[in-house]
Amino acid sequence: AEHGISMTVREEFFSTSAKGVLRGMHFQVPPHAHQKIIYCLSGRVLDVLLDLRMDSLTYGHSVGIELSAINHHVVYLPAGIAHGFLSQEDNSCLVYKTDAVHAPESDFGLRWDSFGFDWPIEKGIISGRDLNHPLFANFSSPF
């Protein structure tokens, strides 16, 4: 609570990706919205965050942060922040810690290329699920 963050970890999972894999933008909507802590166990990723909180001064803004096994950066995401990443090395492994158990019925996403972030790749390896997410402009935020 030193930085005003209070979180009890309820679930932890890992995601390992090859170089060029782009995932996102993912989040859970209420009533199962959750906080996350994310760090890179191996490899290197460009971690991207998009603010979906309507009352936030940074609503609609995005930021990219390099996470790697070397720099040991850790990212905290409050509820209402969408998350995605671009793997910049083979076998990049992210660790996610959340304060709620994954709820498939609340799992949601937005198109990775629909909110103005300048991804440093022309064509990534993107899942069909992520390619079919709705556009940010068509999203009505519940946050």
The pLDDT value recorded for residue 4 is 77
Tokens 């990219």: give the residue.
Answer: 64
The CATH class given to the 11-130 domain equals: mainly beta
Q: Note if 96 is an active site residue.
A: yes
**Average model confidence (pLDDT) across the chain:** 96
pLDDT for 93 equals 99
- How far apart, in Å, are the Cα atoms of 102 and each of 12, 15, 59, 105, 114? 10, 14, 24, 9, 25
Task: Quick: pLDDT tens for 1-25.
Answer: 567 788 999 999 999 999 999 999 9
pLDDT (tens digit per residue) in 51-95: 999 999 999 999 999 999 999 999 999 999 999 999 999 999 999
Q: Which of 3, 26, 73, 133 is catalytic?
A: 26
Select which of 34, 39, 83, 96 is catalytic.
96
- pTM, entire model: 0.94
Q: Where are the domains of the chain?
A: 11-130
